[in-house]
Structure 1
């Protein structure tokens, strides 16, 4: 290190360099940030930077804020020269431009987030290949089944199916009618029969639908 740099890094020299730097940049820095930014140009040591910043803060030349275990230093805004109208207008323009840029970036981020969400919900190429293979197998199975149905000789025509369904309904109606007649006749006999219904059925030898586990279909 040169003698000039040693002088700059000692005591008041370091404080002057740091005070000028903080006022020129007018933004907050930690001791580590200030050391990293000024070490190469001014040869300031880490300990000298920390000591100088603490002295400047104690003197009221700069401001100090503590965030957790870290301290942040920045220029005292009241000690900075007042900005001219032209400078203020320039700053307003810069703020407006930055705000517009932030808005555009936010819109872009929302679009990318929507695209990312859509991609995350989509199938990957390996997943699509696997699904395609499953569908091809299913399609082949269905095609084979369809060919067997087409080549069968025992097809039932719509007319034949309708005839069978009509006959089935007829038989069900007749079943219900005869069951109702038998029940009414049985109840009439039981009115004068001294024993139970079960005993009467056993003596006569009548078997009911329930005895055979048969259930009469519901009326359509």
Structure 2
């Protein structure tokens, strides 16, 4: 018994010249952006061949229904743009100025981000958040003690001390005060980086309380 021949898929009906013309024109209207003839044919799933697309586009350009312009080594086609709807020279100048401002702001922010990342990397390789908090607490306590001692020494209510002892206390105070200030600055920078990554102000407040930064 002879095998039955497999059924062939029905051929897709070819579009007429008018239908092809309408397809190309409607496609450009709908997309409202430039396309080459090859792109138009491909995007229409080759219902309009590349050769046919070239001919149709040429006719549409001659009829001034579409616009042709060069984009590198190929021609692209798009719908005419209404000059009244486009930006004025003043608008373009303003946009150019704003664009330049944004470029400068972006460059500044990138530099700031680079600096913060470097600081964060340095801190991350030395002290953990818990260690930093503990160090700040210790330094604050020592600073208070030094201030109290210095106040008593300068008030004259206790036994006078030598100039060398006073100089040593002053020197120690300056060292610890400078160190405490540096630690505070580092903590502030870290918090700035952490809070910037929080979803909102509430999340930032919860995070800050959890870290005990206001204790």
TM-score for both structures, normalised by structure 2 = 0.35
Max radius of gyration: which structure?
Answer: 1
- What TM-score results when the alignment is normalised by the length of structure 1? 0.34
